[in-house]
Chains A and B, each alone.
Chain A
C-alpha cells in the first residue's frame, strides 16, 4: 500500500473520450498536486462529469493516460478505487436505508476495518453535522441532508483523493456555506476535485480552477491568474467634476496603457462617471488620482472593478467557442 510521495495526486495526460462518435473529452491534460482543492468549471455538457467518471475508473477512456497517486486507472483500477472518494452528480442514495446503516455498508465496501468503522462513522457524522439524523431513513431526508450524507460517504474511508460532481447543486445559501466550509476543512489533508457551475462557489473554496468547454481545457490557474490571463486588464471607475479635456493624454503619460474607456453624463452636481482601463495588473489607483489632481479635477470616488470569475468564465468559454467555430468553419460548409 506504500506509494511514492512525490507523485501528484491526479495526473491526466492527453485524455480523450468518445461516445458513439461524439467527442465528450478532447485531449485534456492536467496535474493536481496533493492537498490542493481544485475546481472544475464548465457549461453543461462540457465533459466535466465524463472526466470525473474516468478518473474514478467507472468509465474507460478512449485514449490517454490517467493516474491517481501514481496508479494508472486503466491498469490498477482497484488501487485507484481504494484511494478515491467519489460523489456522483445528483448524489444517488438508496432510499430505504438509515444514514448510519448506509455509512456502515459503504465503509465495509471501502475496506475500512470493522473495529475502526464505528468510530469513523461517528467522526464523519460529526464533521457533516448529521448526528441528528443518523437513524433517519435516507429517502425521507431533505435535499441538504442527503447532500451531506453523500459528502460524508465520500470522505468516510479517508481517501487521499476526493472527487465530487456538483456537491452544492440544489442547496440553499446557508447549506452551501456549510458544504463550502466542509470542503475547505479538507484542504491540506486530501486532494479535492469539485465541479460546479456556481462560480463564487469555486472562487471561494478552490486553490486552482480548470475551465473546460466542449471537451477542452480553455483556461487554468488560480482565480487571480485567470483574471490576468483571460481578461488581461483591470478597470477603474472614477467620479470626477471639471474639464476633462486632456485627461486621456495625461493618464497615458503617467501609466502606459491606461486609457479612458467611457464617460458618463454629468449629474446635477457636475460629476460624471468615467471608466478607465489598463493593460497590466499592477495597481494604478494612486497614479490616476495624481493625474486627476494635475488636471485640476475634483474627485469624489475611485474604485477598482474586480473582474469576477464569472467574467473570466464567460470570456474563456466564448474564446474557446470562437476558436472551435473558426477551426470548423470551412469543414462545416458544404
Chain B
C-alpha cells in the first residue's frame, strides 16, 4: 500500500490545479445556494414542520446524480484512452493501489464540495437571528449521510469509469446506475407483485436497501449499523469490481 498515498496525493494535486474542478465547485455552490435560498423563502412566508437542514439535505440526489459522474468519469477512462495506464501499471504499483488512490481522491473532492455548503448554514446562523432555524441534529445527520452514502456513490462512478475508455459512456452509465440505486429501491418497495408470500425475503431485502429511507433515518439522528454496512459493503463490492474490470481489460485486450 506504499504507493496508495503517492497516487492519492498526485490525484488530489491534479484535481486542485485543474480549472474544471473550480468550475464544478462554483456551479455546485450556485445550485445549492439557489436551493437553499428557495427553502429559506418558504420559511419566511409560513412556519414549516421540518428544520431547513433536513429539507435542504433531502435534495441530496440532485448533486449526486450530476456531480458524481462528472467527478469520477475521468479517473480510469482517461488513463486508458491516453494509454497512460500502461506506463502506470508497468511501475511497481498494483491495480488495487491505482483504483483506491483514484477513488480516494474523488471521494475527498466530493466531501470538499459538500463541506463548502456548510457556509450556507453559517450565513443563516449569522444573519437569521432565530436559533430555531439552526438545528444541529439534522445538520450533523445530513452531513453524516452525505459522507457515508458518498462512499457508495463515488465507488459506483469509479466502477463505471473502469468499464469504458469513453468518458461520456462512463458518465451516462454512472448516472443511470445512481438513479437506479437511489430511486429503484423506492419503486420496488411500492410494486405489488413483490407482496406475494414466496417473495417475502426479496421484499425484505428491498425495504432494507431504500436510500431515501436511510436518509430520513440519518437526519432524524438514527444511525443504524445495518445501513452503514449497506453502504460499506456496496462500496467494497463496487471497488472490487473496478479492480477486476481494469485487470480483465488487460487480460483480454
Q: A58-B250, A109-B3 are in contact. Are A92 and B84 (CB under 8 A)?
A: yes
Chain B residues near A97: list those with CB within 8 A: 14
User: Could you say which residues of chain B place their CB within 8 Å of the CB of A57?
Assistant: 90
- How near does chain B come to A163, taking the closest CB pair, in angstroms? 9
Q: Is the CB of B90 within 8 A of A92?
A: no
Task: Give the interface segment out of A77-85, A183-191, A275-283, A315-323.
Answer: A77-85
Cβ contact within 8 Å between A81 and B6:
no
Find the A residue at minimum CB distance from B253. Answer: A59
A314 at the interface (CB under 8 A from B): no
CB nearest to A153 among chain B residues:
B87
The 8 A-B residue pairs with the shortest CB-CB distance, nearest first, are A92-B83, A109-B91, A56-B90, A81-B92, A86-B90, A108-B6, A92-B84, A88-B86
The chain B residues found within 8 Å of chain A, CB to CB, are 2-3, 6-7, 10, 14, 17-18, 82-84, 86-93, 250-253
User: Within 8 Å CB of B89, what residues of A?
Assistant: 58
Verify A109–B93 contact, CB threshold 8 A: yes
Identify which of A53, A58, A82 contacts B92 (C-beta below 8 A). A82
Q: B252 CB to closest chain A CB, in angstroms?
A: 8
What's the tally of chain A residues with a CB closer than 8 Å to chain B?
29
By beta carbon, the residue of chain B nearest A98 is B17
Residue among A60, A81, A87, A109 with the highest chain B CB neighbour number at 10 A: A109
Residues of A within 8 A of B18 (CB): 96
Chain A residues 64-104 with CB under 8 Å of chain B are: 78, 81-82, 84, 86-88, 90, 92-97
A81 to B94, CA, bound (A): 11
Given A82-B92, A109-B92, A110-B92, is A58 in contact with B82 using a C-beta cutoff of 8 Å? no
Q: List 6 A-B contacts (CB under 8 A).
A: A82-B92, A96-B14, A96-B18, A109-B88, A109-B92, A111-B2
Which residues of A96-143 are within 8 A (CB) of B?
96-97, 105-106, 108-111
**Residues of A close to B86: CB separation below 8 A:** 53, 58, 88, 92
CB within 8 Å of B: which residues of A?
Answer: 19-20, 53, 56-60, 78, 81-82, 84, 86-88, 90, 92-97, 105-106, 108-111, 153
**In the bound complex, CA of A86 to CA of B86 (Å):** 9
Contact A78 B92 (CB under 8 A): yes
Kindly list chain B residues whose C-beta atoms are within 8 Å of the C-beta of A92: 82-84, 86-87
- B142–chain A nearest beta-carbon distance, Å: 35
User: Shortest beta-carbon distance, B14 to chain A, in Å?
Assistant: 7
Q: A88-B86, A96-B18 are in contact. List 5 more A-B contacts (CB 8 A).
A: A56-B90, A60-B251, A93-B82, A94-B84, A105-B10
With A and B bound together, what is the CA distance between A248 and B89 in angstroms?
A: 63
In the complex, residue of chain A having the shortest beta-carbon distance to the beta carbon of B84: A92
Q: Closest approach, in angstroms, between the C-beta of A66 and any C-beta of chain B?
A: 14
Bound-complex Cα distance A110 to B3 (A): 9
* Nearest B-chain residue to A97, judged by Cβ: B14
Complex-state Cα separation, A95 to B79, whole angstroms: 11
Output the nearest chain A residue to B81 by Cβ-Cβ distance: A92
Distance from A84 Cβ to chain B, minimum over Cβ atoms (Å): 7
Most chain A CB inside 10 Å of its own CB: which residue of B10, B89, B251: B10
Interface contact A109-B14, CB-CB below 8 Å: no
Q: CA A58 – CA B90 in complex, angstroms?
A: 6
Report the nearest B residue to A57, measured CB to CB.
Answer: B90
Which A residues are in CB contact (< 8 Å) with B87? Answer: 86-88, 92, 106, 153
Please, which residue of chain A has its CB at the minimum distance from the CB of B10?
Answer: A105
Contacts of A88 in B (CB 8 A): 83, 86-87, 90
Query: Which residues of B sit under 8 angstroms from A59, Cβ to Cβ?
Result: 250, 253
In the complex, A105 Cα to B14 Cα: how many Å?
11
Complex Cα spacing A60 to B249, Å: 12
Which residues of the partner chain B approach A105 to less than 8 Å between Cβ atoms? 6, 10
Closest residue of chain B to A60, judged by CB? B251
Q: Which residues of A contact B250 (CB under 8 A)?
A: 58-60
Residues of A within 8 A of B2 (CB): 111
